[in-house]
Amino acid sequence: MQKPVKLVVFDLGSTLMYEKDPWDSYFPRADDALWQVLRRAGVTIERGQLYNDQPSLFSIYGQRRGDDLSEPTTAGVLDELLQDQGYHLPKDRLREAVAAMFAVTQENWLPEEDALPTLERLRQDGLHLCLISNASDDDNTQALIDKGGFRPYLEYIVASATFGKRKPHPDIFRSVLDHFTVPAEQAVMVGDDYDADINGANGVGMQSIWITRRAYNRSPDKARGVPTATVSTLAEIPPLLS
C-alpha cells in the first residue's frame, strides 16, 4: 500500500457476500411476497396498473435512482406509486411489504468463505473496519450483515438509501472518514465495482483495493485512476496491509 492504513471500508454485495443463483427465479417470488402484504392492506388494483410497463418494483426502483447519485428508498418509491393510484398506506404496512419482498432475495446471498477469517485477521491487526453499501433498503442491508455474521467486526455501517447518496458520490466516503477522524490517505476501500468503489474512493484521496472474483466488468475504463492494489480473494488483503 502507498501509506499505512488505519481504516478498511468494505463493500457488501459481490465483496463480502455473493449471489449463489441467478436472480430470475427470485424476483417474481419476491414480488409475490410484496403483493401478498399489499392485498391484505386493501390494495385491489392489478400489478400492471402500479408498474405500468415494468415487471416488478425492482425494475421501477432502478429507474428512479437519480443521475446525481441520489438514492431513494424502496419503501419511498412504493409509497409514491401507491399514492399515484389513490392509496395511502401507513409506514409500518409499507415496511412490512418491503420486508416480505427482501426476505426472499436474502435467500440468494451467502457470505464468502474467506470473509469472516479476513475480518478477524484485520481486527487482530488493530484496524478499524466499516461498510458502505449501495443499497435501496437499510433494513435489508442490516439483515444481510447479520446473515453473514459480520456485525461484530463492523464499527460503522452506511447504506446509501439511508444516507441519500450512493457511491461514488464523495460525500458518502467523507462521512466515514469524518466518523473515524482518519485522513483519507490512511483509509482503503475494498470493493468489486470499479466506478462506485475504486473511482469513488480515489476521488476523495483514499486508497483502494479492487477485488475481481465477482467483478462484473474486469476491463473497466481506468481513465479516472487505478486501484492501489488488485486482488482476487479477500484472503489476500491482510498481508497487503500488515
Give the model's pLDDT for residue 10: 98
Residue 99 or 64, more confident: 99
Last residue of a domain, one of 74, 107, 140: 107
Q: Are residues 165 and 58 in the same domain?
A: no
Q: Are residues 116 and 103 in the same domain?
A: no
pLDDT at 221 over 80: no
> Given pLDDT bands bounded at 50, 70 and 90, which one contains residue 5?
very high
Residue 107 or 65, more confident: 107
Q: Are residues 188 and 122 in the same domain?
A: yes
Q: Look-up: residue for cell 473511482?
A: 199
Q: Is residue 131 part of a domain?
A: yes
- Tell me: the pLDDT tens digits for 35-77? 999 999 999 999 999 999 899 999 999 988 878 999 999 999 9
CA proximity to 16, closest of 123, 150, 208: 150
Q: Are residues 152 and 221 in the same domain?
A: yes
Q: Are residues 30 and 12 in the same domain?
A: no
Give the model's pLDDT for residue 223: 66
Q: Are residues 74 and 162 in the same domain?
A: no
DSSP of 66-88, one letter per residue?
A: -TT-B---HHHHHHHHHHHTT--
Last residue of a domain, one of 107, 129, 150: 107
Contact criterion met (CB below 8 Å) for 101 and 33: yes
pLDDT at 13 over 80: yes
Contact criterion met (CB below 8 Å) for 148 and 16: yes
Contact criterion met (CB below 8 Å) for 114 and 15: no
162: burial class by Cβ within 10 Å (0-12, 13-18, 19+)? middle
CA proximity to 226, closest of 198, 201, 206: 198
Query: Domain holding 236: CATH number?
Result: 3.40.50.1000
Q: What is the reported pTM?
A: 0.95
Contact criterion met (CB below 8 Å) for 74 and 161: yes
Q: Look-up: residue for cell 471500508?
A: 9
| Domain around 234 | 7-16+112-241
> How many independent structural domains does the chain possess?
2
State the average pLDDT over residues 184-210: 97
pLDDT at 2 over 80: yes
Q: Is the dihedral angle over the CA atoms 150, 153, 155, 160 positive or is it negative?
A: negative
pLDDT at 222 over 80: no
Q: Is residue 83 part of a domain?
A: yes
Give the model's pLDDT for residue 67: 85
Q: Are residues 75 and 62 in the same domain?
A: yes
Last residue of a domain, one of 107, 133, 165: 107
Q: Is residue 1 part of a domain?
A: no
CA-atom Rg of the chain in angstroms: 19
> Mean pLDDT, the chain, as a whole number?
95
Q: Are residues 95 and 147 in the same domain?
A: no
Q: Are residues 117 and 201 in the same domain?
A: yes
